Chains A and B, each alone.
Chain A
């Protein structure tokens, strides 16, 4: 890999151990993926924020980084953590977990990372522009900024994205390059256009192609629909970029006439639904993966207004960011009659397996991860169908 004189100096420890370790990591990853050089980034988004997912090894790593004086050099945001930092008791979280989780948030803060913890930073605190090179972890968010905004990032892991944030640079390979952003398959989609249908579409596409860059025809997602599509495809497959004919900013650059066309319609959506639904009986309904946007909060509140929660056996959680919860105070009042509106956490990164065994969600992403990361039997339906379970 060609490094500049300054990059070589960092690698040789001339700017301190913190930057040296970061450079070692970014160059090692670059080597694995065949990068020829490093590239400046304008922002980073970091995963590895929940104590549940990083454990004591991760906590110690962060302690040591902060002890070594590491700080980020580009605007950086953090993924959801394992609990709402003030209302964690409502989530059945232990004191021990809470203490360590709060310490993790504090350590990220000391490195200069914005401490609102959300998987949808692109609707608020961290919005890249078209063509920006960035280093984002969090599979759904990085797919959103790649696809819907036209920024450029690979699927970074937590420590790699943090190292990139410290340096302000990442390895130049994969989706940073024009030729690696070309579509690989055309998806002819036949869906009803609801947000939930985009979740099922994403699930079906991930199941059909696994990886690659799909080019969609016959859909017109707005932010909420694109968010659901990104999350589903990144969980059922490993898709980090897609294009939508007439919608996403790079779609017009490509001639797709020679690509294979895959049709996703009623049968494929039913298969996707069946894959995500393994129980009819649940203890928890968790909505907000990825985090609910302002528009979704309004929609849920207007659906719930004047209604009553009758089933006391099923808990309901809504998940969003601190900013959105503060902005939507009126909606929150209505929603809280059904269950807590939790900020900066979600059902996947919280240790729900200590309390629940069967969980329902509207998210295909959560539907994939609840069984594997949280030992849950999962149900996946649209929000109104879920809320009817408790009315």
Chain B
């Protein structure tokens, strides 16, 4: 599956992903002579190094050069947003680099990725994209969370916002309204807000999640067979529950 980003330093590379969830300072974060990471297990040498963005000391550029001198540099660097330190390090060390990819969450450790930095493209082998919707259906600072059955294929036994697949030819907002009606029999109007899309990986499946906020009005949910139970929860209550990835983040965005 090919994603488009932007060229920061030209070149091509293919390799295995090593991913960091947090911004990386090469100074202190990577050993310049061995390529060993100090912020997690692993080594960057020959890998496709994926992280959101650089941070920290400007000396980090020279740590990248040091890696290159020792033959321990990553095969390519992928960022969400390039900043000066890593961009400088990549260019002076001739490491292909792409930024403005949608999210580091596209990737998992061990993915085989082909980077064509000159064209700004990133090809992740063997993954399938599924477009889904997820909605905060709220009233008075609380929203509906539904409990998925233990037999569910995706996030079994977790509490979830009102979510489902986008059907062929359907717009995300229509899909959101349909799912809410099917799963709760609540009819909603225009969304109060939207965010994202967010990306969630589950094995080889990459979910692209379109997120909406709707007002439930005075309607009480009547759930269908897809879920076992529902509750009205605020952010504090949801934090104590086993929820699907990003549920809290999304609730915080819309409910405060």
B88 and A160 contacting across the interface, CB-CB below 8 Å: yes
A159 and B59 contacting across the interface, CB-CB below 8 Å: no
A60 and B85 contacting across the interface, CB-CB below 8 Å: no
Q: Could you mark each residue 66-100 of chain B with 1 if its beta carbon is under 8 Å from any beta carbon of chain A, else 0? A: 11010000000000001111011011100000010
A25 part of interface (Cβ distance < 8 Å): yes
Contact residues in A for B62 (Cβ distance below 8 Å): 48, 54-55, 57-58, 61
**A32, B65: Cα distance in complex, Å:** 20
B66 and A55 contacting across the interface, CB-CB below 8 Å: yes
A100 part of interface (Cβ distance < 8 Å): no
**A48, B88: Cα distance in complex, Å:** 13
CB-nearest residue of chain B to A56: B66
B19 part of interface (Cβ distance < 8 Å): no
Could you say which interface size class chain B belongs to? 20 to 34
**A58, B64: Cα distance in complex, Å:** 10
A24 part of interface (Cβ distance < 8 Å): yes
Contacting residues of chain A (243-283) with chain B, CB-CB under 8 angstroms: none
Q: How far is the CB of B27 from chain A (nearest CB, A)?
A: 9
Contacts A21-B91, A24-B91 hold; do A57 and B8 have CB atoms under 8 A apart?
A: no
A60 and B84 contacting across the interface, CB-CB below 8 Å: no
B49 part of interface (Cβ distance < 8 Å): no
B66 and A25 contacting across the interface, CB-CB below 8 Å: no
A29 and B66 contacting across the interface, CB-CB below 8 Å: no
Contacting residues of chain A (53-91) with chain B, CB-CB under 8 angstroms: 53-58, 60-61
B59 and A53 contacting across the interface, CB-CB below 8 Å: yes
Q: Which of B62, B63, B67 has the most CB of A within 10 A?
A: B62
Q: Which of A21, A53, A61 has the most CB of B within 10 A?
A: A61
A301 part of interface (Cβ distance < 8 Å): no
B10 part of interface (Cβ distance < 8 Å): yes
Contacts A29-B87, A57-B69, A60-B66 hold; do A21 and B92 have CB atoms under 8 A apart?
A: yes
Q: How far is the CB of A70 from chain B (nearest CB, A)?
A: 12
A57 and B88 contacting across the interface, CB-CB below 8 Å: no
**A54, B91: Cα distance in complex, Å:** 17
**A25, B91: Cα distance in complex, Å:** 6
Q: How far is the CB of B9 from chain A (nearest CB, A)?
A: 6
B32 part of interface (Cβ distance < 8 Å): yes
26 residue pairs of the A-B complex, CB under 8 angstroms, read A21-B91, A21-B92, A24-B9, A24-B10, A25-B88, A28-B9, A28-B82, A29-B88, A32-B82, A32-B83, A32-B87, A48-B62, A54-B59, A55-B63, A57-B66, A57-B69, A58-B59, A58-B65, A60-B65, A60-B69, A61-B62, A157-B61, A157-B84, A159-B61, A159-B88, A160-B88
Q: Which residues of A contact B (CB under 8 A)?
A: 21, 24-25, 28-29, 31-32, 48, 53-58, 60-61, 157-160
Given contacts A24-B91, A29-B88, 7 further A-B contacts (CB under 8 A): A24-B10, A25-B91, A54-B59, A57-B32, A57-B66, A60-B66, A160-B88
